[in-house]
């Protein structure tokens, strides 16, 4: 039978944990609304940039810009976005499990992998499995700004244009709601038009008369393509930040509820144990009185 003192210590410990999880849930909820508003505001612009690029790509030749060029896959760079902190449920675990599948698929085809990571959790996970990252950005999701996405985009684009990588794939978590996030894997570079989704639009665009570009088509592509990469990375970071906060809020709410249930069970055990101790003492008293008779 556990002692009353041990049970009291466990109850106090669980109560302290419950206070922490409740506070973390409140902090995540306070940040979540702002992150949700930012991603909802950014999505229409990112989608419109993609539409404009698709329309322009339908009128362009792959040779018009280096970011259109498709090369034989020898080296693939993976940009994986994870969180800096844990306590957000299976958010990081699910994402990194998918990332490992992508890595194994490429390695099975003899493709070399280059890793660029956002967040500490991805770095810790992949380093333990023998995949040290070449580049790692940490501490940016809490105070995310566009210049941070611009820096990442320039580094990744520079390595592709320099021939260090033949393709860049983006792995992140797309925000749906506080309870639902979807892991997304997409090819970022080389840029290509969405043939399946916009096939009819592209065919119609190709069939139109030539469009007059001001300035020239080459100058438009030179500005639009790098900007497209920057916007897609910025959107992925915003999606990941909102997804992380939603997952943490849900996980901490569940942990707080479980702590409350555990406190109830421990309190019941404490009361039963205390009652048993009192009953035993009464029986000892009664037995002693009977012995004196």
Place of tokens 């469009």: 211
What 3-state DSSP class applies to 136?
Answer: strand
What 3-state DSSP class applies to 67?
Answer: helix
CA distances to 21, 274, 292 from 287, in Å? 49, 20, 9
What 3-state DSSP class applies to 292?
Answer: helix
Six token digits for residue 212: 């007059």
Nearest CA to 78 out of 55, 103, 58 is that of 103
What 3-state DSSP class applies to 168?
Answer: strand
User: How far is 278 from 217, CA to CA, in rounded Å?
Assistant: 90
Q: Where are the alpha helices (DSSP H) in the chain?
A: 4-58, 91-108, 120-128, 146-161, 199-207, 217-292
Instruction: Establish whether 88 is a catalytic residue.
Output: yes
Q: How far apart are the first and last CA of the chain?
A: 32
What 3-state DSSP class applies to 59?
Answer: coil
Peptide bond before residue 255 is cis, with ω within 30 degrees of 0: no
User: How far is 194 from 127, CA to CA, in rounded Å?
Assistant: 34
Angle between helices 4-58 and 217-292 (to 10 degrees): 170
Which one of the listed residues 35, 88, 224, 251 is annotated catalytic? 88
What 3-state DSSP class applies to 116?
Answer: strand
Q: Which residues are catalytic?
A: 88
């Amino acid at each position: 039978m556990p002692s009353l003192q041990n049970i009291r210590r466990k109850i106090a410990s669980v109560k302290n944990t419950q206070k922490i999880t409740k506070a973390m849930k409140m902090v995540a909820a306070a940040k979540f609304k702002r992150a949700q508003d930012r991603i909802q505001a950014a999505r229409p612009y990112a989608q419109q940039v993609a539409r404009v690029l698709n329309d322009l790509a339908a009128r362009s030749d792959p040779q018009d810009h280096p970011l259109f060029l498709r090369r034989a896959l020898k080296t693939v760079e993976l940009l994986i976005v994870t969180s800096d902190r844990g306590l957000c449920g299976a958010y990081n675990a699910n994402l990194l499990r998918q990332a490992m599948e992508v890595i194994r698929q490429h390695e099975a085809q003899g493709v070399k992998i280059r890793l660029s990571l956002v967040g500490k959790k991805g770095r810790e996970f992949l380093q333990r499995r023998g995949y040290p990252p070449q580049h790692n950005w940490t501490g940016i999701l809490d105070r995310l700004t566009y210049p941070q996405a611009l820096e990442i985009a320039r580094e990744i684009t520079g390595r592709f244009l320099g021939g260090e990588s033949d393709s860049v794939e983006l792995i992140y978590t797309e925000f749906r709601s506080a309870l639902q996030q979807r892991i997304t894997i997409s090819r970022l570079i080389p840029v290509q038009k969405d043939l399946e989704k916009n096939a009819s639009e592209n065919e119609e665009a190709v069939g139109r008369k030539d469009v007059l570009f001001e300035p020239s088509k080459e100058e438009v592509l030179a500005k639009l393509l790098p900007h497209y990469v920057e916007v897609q990375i910025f959107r992925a970071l915003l999606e990941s930040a909102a997804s992380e906060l939603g997952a943490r809020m849900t996980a901490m709410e569940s942990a707080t509820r479980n702590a409350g249930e555990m406190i109830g069970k421990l309190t019941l055990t404490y009361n039963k144990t205390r009652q048993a101790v009192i009953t035993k003492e009464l029986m000892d008293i009664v037995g002693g009185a009977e012995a004196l008779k």
